[in-house]
Amino acid sequence: MDLVVEMPTDAIDPLSAEFLPKDFYLPPKPVVLSEIEARGQFNLIHVGSGSKVDFIIRKDRDFSRTEFARRLRVPFSENVDTTSATPEDIILSKLQYYDSGRFEKHLEDIRGILRVSAGVLDIDYIDEWASKLNLADLWKDVTRD
């Protein structure tokens, strides 16, 4: 599971207290602190199952701040809600991932979102951010398909 988070450095100790070393691996505090300061990422691993959660520190750029502010509250389980990026922001992120690595999977994901959500997407928003992120030509190519 990937989680994009805004995480202050004073949250490291409470996080460590919740996920005890006998059951979970969390990198040492200096590593987590370094990742927070670098706006990088670190992971939490459940020792028994090997399940992993990547904590991705929200980038300090206009798109990332906008994307984070637009997140939607969605049910995670019967008693727990979580948040998720909007379909538009997922498309924009996938365009960025594709642009940096050229993995076809990202374009397949975008096409799937378009098939499911085409009628409700804010295309003007995607067009605007695709232009700001220098992804307009790629976005046009994807929508031409």
The reply to whether 74 falls in a domain is no
The reply to whether 63 falls in a domain is no
Overall average pLDDT of the 57-70 stretch: 95
Residue where a domain stops, chosen among 17, 43, 58: 58
Q: Is the domain of 93 the same as that of 51?
A: no
Produce one character per residue of 5-35: b if its CB has 16 or more CB atoms within 10 Å, e if not: eebeeeebeeebeeeeeeebebbeeeebeeb
What are 17-39's pLDDT values in tens digits? 999 999 999 999 999 999 999 99
Overall average pLDDT of the 112-116 stretch: 95
Residue where a domain stops, chosen among 40, 58, 76: 58
The reply to whether 137 falls in a domain is yes
What are 68-86's pLDDT values in tens digits? 999 999 998 999 999 999 9
Domain of residue 43: give its range: 1-58
Residue where a domain stops, chosen among 58, 74, 95: 58
Residues 6+ apart with CB under 8 A from 103: 97
The reply to whether 101 falls in a domain is yes
DSSP state, residue 88? H
Is residue 87 predicted with pLDDT exceeding 80?
A: yes
Task: Give the residue from 39, 54, 51 showing the smallest Cα distance to 6.
Answer: 39
Cα separation, 73 vs 139, in Å, equals 27
Look at the chain and report how many structural domains it folds into.
Answer: 2
Cα separation, 104 vs 72, in Å, equals 27
